[in-house]
Amino acid sequence: MLRNKNILIGITGGIAAYKICELVRMFKKNDANVKVVLTPNAKEFVTELTMDTLAQDRVYIEQFNTTDKKPEHISLCDWADIFIIAPASANTIGKLANGIADNLLTSLACAFTGTKLIAPAMNTGMWENRFVQKNISALKNAGMHIVEPESGFLACGTCGKGRLASVEKVFNEAALLLYENQALKGKKILITAGGTRENLDPVRYIGNYSSGKMGKALADAAYNAGAEVTLICTFEETKPYKTITVNSALEMENAVKNEAQNANCVIMAAAVADYRPAECSVSKIKKDKNEELTIKLVKNPDILANLCKNKKQNQIIVGFCAESDDLIENAREKLAQKGCDFLVANDITRKDIAFSSDYNEVYILSKDAPIKKIDRSTKENIAKSILEIIFKGENSGN
Ligand code: C5P
């Protein structure tokens, strides 16, 4: 989706500069073109050689390079589709907010009229400094996009807000900004991910091996394509879109019911337990009291089937099915039994795909189209293909 997009990345002098190596790689892996500009202070934290090698282009630092006919701050501005400054130091933020252009990076920021994405990173005291906050507000008011720093352990040894947002978040934010007018803009998409945990007592649960990677990849892909995404998952997740963490099937059912009301599309990628213990012991079950233990299980509600029964007009509902035998036959049956619009089927016996793997290979069944196979690929790629297939009919008016 980022193929041939021109990404200009400005790095300022902060310890988080080393994380930008990974950001550059993420863009390159997605076939984008990357050019890197460093402030003179940034050179203290990352080497030109590292950045040259990762970006496969020379690094820009000098403000007055006479080899180009156009001054660099003009030619780079013409080239870039987006200008990301990460990490953005308090110093550089102060300069941007006041129109100061005393090095190549700040001159570029001054001259560039396109989309700017700023990811600040600094010590908590600096971040909370009222002048820094005033400068941040000024940048926001000027239409720049800010990826807020996160709270956590900082390189200076303290704990608090100021840590650079994850590079994944910066990447996703940039991808979203580049694709503001994308196919899924205006769509509300609800996705579930992960395996539910059905508690037996305060210590133990019945669970499954679902990693939630497929659901997460779908949520990221939908978000990057401009959709308003809600991810209901069985793990903690920090994402630039709404996430809700649940534990059991009943909790998931509740969250799905609330969130599905306004969703244009619901994708149930979660591995929901079919049964739960009839009782959850308040205290830990002790082995000395039981030589044998019998656990009575009761059936969980089928969230997907109930959703399909109460389907809203024009809502698209997608189910997943993980099978170990007769994949297509079982998937056909499940599609009819659940009543969903699409069913994504994968074979869980294969070691090179599905559970916990970063790869998948799926078949997509639908009520009125032939089965489509998406060959083995990363879950990121599979997610994009699934979304394309789901929304293809809509976009072509079918
Ligand atoms: O029936 P089975 O578990 O094989 O169906 C899988 C699909 O149904 C998945 O999309 C899963 O998220 C959903 N499901 C559900 N509620 C359950 C069990 C599965 O929504 N109790």
Q: If we measure between CA atoms, which residue out of 30, 13, 3, 156 comes closest to residue 86?
A: 13
Mean pLDDT of all residues in the chain? 91
Residue 252 has pLDDT above 70, yes or no: yes
1 within a domain of the structure (yes/no): no
220 within a domain of the structure (yes/no): yes
For residue 360, give both structure tokens.
């998948």
Query: Which of residues 182, 212, 227 is at a domain's end?
Result: 182
pTM, full prediction: 0.66
Domain of residue 267 covers 185-396
Mention every residue, 6+ apart, whose C-beta is less than 8 A from residue 6. 32, 33, 35, 79, 80, 81, 82
169 and 193 belong to one structural domain: no
Mean pLDDT of 136-153: 88
167 and 203 belong to one structural domain: no
163 and 28 belong to one structural domain: yes
User: 16 has which bridge partners?
Assistant: none
**C-alpha 304 – ligand 1 centre gap (Å):** 6
196 and 59 belong to one structural domain: no
291 and 335 belong to one structural domain: yes
Give me the amino acid identity at 262: N
151 and 16 belong to one structural domain: yes
Give me the amino acid identity at 150: E
- Residue from 190, 266, 298, 303 to probe ligand 1 pocket by mutation (most atoms less than 8 Å from CB): 303
61 within a domain of the structure (yes/no): yes
54 and 148 belong to one structural domain: yes
165 and 202 belong to one structural domain: no
**C-alpha 256 – ligand 1 centre gap (Å):** 13
**C-alpha 285 – ligand 1 centre gap (Å):** 29
Give me the amino acid identity at 390: I
173 and 220 belong to one structural domain: no
CATH code for the domain of 145: 3.40.50.1950
Write out residues with Cβ below 6 Å of ligand 1. 249, 268, 270, 272, 274, 300, 302-304, 319-321, 334
270 and 309 belong to one structural domain: yes
User: 236 has which bridge partners?
Assistant: none
Q: Which residues are catalytic?
A: 156
Q: If we measure between CA atoms, which residue out of 211, 209, 229, 208 comes closest to residue 220?
A: 229
In total, how many domains does the chain have?
A: 2
Q: Which residue is closest in CA terms to ligand 1's atom 5?
A: 321
175 and 298 belong to one structural domain: no
Of 1-5, 55-59, 264-268, 391-395, which range is least confident?
391-395
Angle at 350 between CA 344 and CA 353, to 5 degrees: 60
**C-alpha 195 – ligand 1 centre gap (Å):** 11
Of 237 and 383, the one with more pLDDT = 383
CA distance 11 to 16: 9
